């Protein structure tokens, strides 16, 4: 019996990577044990000695930091994502008016937690781009954004609930900046929510990087490489992710 392979991965990959890991096990007989969460928090757990063999992050900075330590291989970008705005049914906005909506003092803007979760880092990158469109926007958005998810102490959604659907269903924010894949999943769970594209002037995009521990069994490298296989990429695409 092959030893189970411990894979640590970004929470935004939960549904798609669960599907891919199950198919991988059927094809190869290799059982995969997924540990999912905010990429920055997972990296800290790995640095503190947890025995991950593969790390699939929602950015490239966290796997690069592991590689810089010498204990992990250089990362590969295996899939991409984009930011969307998930809005309550009481908010009427379009890609063209999104920045004005975010800056509206009456609108509560939710994000994930920077440093702990790349989704939060991408939101702040969007705020910086907003400053180029409208000077002063960064300061206003930085001051008002509510870091509602992805932190070590962030409240967890009840079992069976998606984090972003739950946060919005609870009325914790009027607009939440998250990955488009997360936003679509939340809208499917709570159909009254709306998904608004982020316009090109504000879009930052998200590159997901995977790395393998140096000296890991061959099954770890095989799993990481499998993520780039056409069938796996087709599965990512079906879940709304973009090509690497």
pLDDT digits (tens, 9 = 90+) for 15-35: 999 999 999 999 999 999 999
For residue range 78-107, what is the model confidence (pLDDT) as tens digits? 999 999 999 999 999 999 999 999 999 999
Q: What is the domain count for the chain?
A: 2
Judged against a pLDDT cut of 90, whether residue 178 lies above it is answered with: yes
| CATH of residue 95 | 3.40.190.10
Listing DSSP states for 8-19 in one string gives: EEEGGGHHHHHH
Judged against a pLDDT cut of 60, whether residue 1 lies above it is answered with: no
Residue 191 lies in a domain: yes
- The pTM score is 0.95
The answer to whether residues 51 and 153 belong to one domain is: no
User: With contact defined as beta carbons under 8 Å apart, do 116 and 152 qualify?
Assistant: yes
The answer to whether residues 71 and 135 belong to one domain is: no
Residue 244 lies in a domain: no
* pLDDT at site 2: 80
* pLDDT at site 17: 98
Distance in angstroms (rounded) separating the CA atoms of residues 165 and 168:
5
The answer to whether residues 117 and 72 belong to one domain is: no
* pLDDT at site 138: 98
The answer to whether residues 90 and 167 belong to one domain is: yes
Taking the alpha carbons of 149, 152, 156, 161 in that order, is the dihedral positive or negative? positive
For residue range 44-60, what is the model confidence (pLDDT) as tens digits? 999 999 999 999 999 99
The answer to whether residues 91 and 187 belong to one domain is: yes
Residue identified by tokens 């920055």 is 40
Domain that holds residue 170: 83-197
The answer to whether residues 193 and 211 belong to one domain is: no
The answer to whether residues 27 and 71 belong to one domain is: yes
The answer to whether residues 76 and 110 belong to one domain is: no
The answer to whether residues 25 and 111 belong to one domain is: no
């Amino acid at each position: 019996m092959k030893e189970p392979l411990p894979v640590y991965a970004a929470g935004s990959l939960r549904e798609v990577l669960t599907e891919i890991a199950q198919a991988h096990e059927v094809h190869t007989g290799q059982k995969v044990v997924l540990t999912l969460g905010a990429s920055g928090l997972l990296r800290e757990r790995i640095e503190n000695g947890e025995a991950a063999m593969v790390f699939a992050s929602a950015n490239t900075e966290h796997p690069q930091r592991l590689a810089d330590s010498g204990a992990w291989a250089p990362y590969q970008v295996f899939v991409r994502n984009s930011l969307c705005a998930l809005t309550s049914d009481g908010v009427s906005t379009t890609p063209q008016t999104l920045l004005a909506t975010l800056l509206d003092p009456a609108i509560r803007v939710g994000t994930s937690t920077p440093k702990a979760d790349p989704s939060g880092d991408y939101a702040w990158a969007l705020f910086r781009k907003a400053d180029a469109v409208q000077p002063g926007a960064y300061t206003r958005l930085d001051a008002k954004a509510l870091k509602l998810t992805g932190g070590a102490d962030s409240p967890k959604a009840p079992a069976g609930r998606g984090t972003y659907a739950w946060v919005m269903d609870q009325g914790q924010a009027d607009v939440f900046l998250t990955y488009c894949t997360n936003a679509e999943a939340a809208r499917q769970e709570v159909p009254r929510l709306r998904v608004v594209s982020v316009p090109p002037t504000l879009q930052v995009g998200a590159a997901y990087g995977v790395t393998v521990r140096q000296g890991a069994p061959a099954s770890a490298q095989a799993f990481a490489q499998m993520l780039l296989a056409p069938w796996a990429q087709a599965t990512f695409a079906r879940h709304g992710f973009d090509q690497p």
